[in-house]
Structure 1
Amino acid sequence: MLQLREEKKKKKVLPYFRRVSRGGAGRGPGWGGRCRSRPPAVIAPRRRGRAGPGMAEGAAGPGGAERYFTRWYKPDVKGRPCEDFCVLQHSNRICVITLAEAHPLLQSGKTIKNINYQISANCSRLQNKVSGKSKRGAQFLTELAPLCRISSSDGEEYTIYSCIRGRLIEVNENILSNPALLQEKPSTEGYIAVVLPKFEESKSITQGLLTQKEYEEVLLKRRSSAS
């Protein structure tokens, strides 16, 4: 009798363990039971002094963000030369908006003077309030929706755009107090915002964006024309 009870316990525990190891009990498909599969800024909200969503410091190389995110690029946004942006797309649809490496703000000699998430008199990205699994209250963004405006010490002002459609999950308030993060760690702690595309649009949001290889070809053409 005791042996029969032990066998029943094993039958009950084993399926539960498999559910946890595959996706976590009650989390639903795609959430993942391992740390590397956790959706950024959803399971682990951003805290001050912490690296960007789902990414560790120095995560640009092998074993870092590249393992969990696919890079997409939007060059020359609104016809402004070299104002390029990068969209780091996670497998769970979460997208992190960052500056691309060729953006003027990341070039030598540029010093960031001010970052402003107040995009109009009636709209501030800092007032974005998100609640619940359905992300109620989140501001909806189009591809050319401005996220913030950044001014440099040489008098230039740059508008940062979403580049994709979706709901604004969070903005990076850390760069307000420490603008240097944007230049020193643009793909991690210096990210701009986190956007969640609609489920039905998740497979089409990269239309109009370039792969990393295609973007490298754009950079080569720029260098050739400049020389």
Structure 2
Amino acid sequence: MTAVLFDFSGTLFRVESTDSWLRGVLAGADVRLTEAELTAAVRALEAVGALPGGGAPARVPEDLADTWLVRDQSAALHRAAYTGLARQVALPHPALHDALYDRHMSPAAWAPYPDAVEVLRALRERGIPVGVVSNIGWDLRPVFRTHGLDQYVDTYVLSFEHGIQKPDPRLFATACEALGADPRKTLMVGDDRRADGGAGALGCTVHFVDHLPAADRPDGLRPVLDLVS
């Protein structure tokens, strides 16, 4: 392999828990809930899939169905999809739904998987260029910079900046072109078999990792180093 592409959420980074997400927003807004109220709200937000990077919604409301399918094609669609899901859950103030969306874009809401730095550093030491290809509605570069991983990434290909989303092979092709890499000698690493599997249409080798909380997946990325050796 002469290049490696990585997905973002669930692959290199994992978003904070729904509990932490909601507590952070409530604290910032100086809004207080009882523990019972907070637990109920967390469960409801998880059920509707309101946290980007968290679990998928059990059901997408009919009025959001079309937006949901193309949510990663623009910043406006992404915000509309996720705030729409969140608004299914009653919160003490309507502004909290937008505040929740804003918080998930904060670098503090994300943590790299325990072996992410190790693996990216090793790839850099081997002279293997790295790209990040993500279905997303906002600029994730500050997350990488804040956590010290930006120095190991050579290019970012983000769906909302191109108006297309994985599994469209054009996103992967754009990343390979930016890296000067032959897709047939490029490894794509992701957690979504449908979205990230789209790289296979170009001839890329695709390796999947489990989308788990960071603490539950301490070494899921290390096999990548064997695949490129």
State the TM bucket, normalised to the shorter chain.
Answer: under 0.3
Higher relative contact order by CA 8 Å / sep ≥ 6: 1 or 2? 2
Q: Which structure has the highest helix share of the two?
A: 2
What is the TM-score with the length of structure 1 in the denominator?
0.24
Structure number with bigger Rg: 1
Q: Which structure has the highest strand share of the two?
A: 1
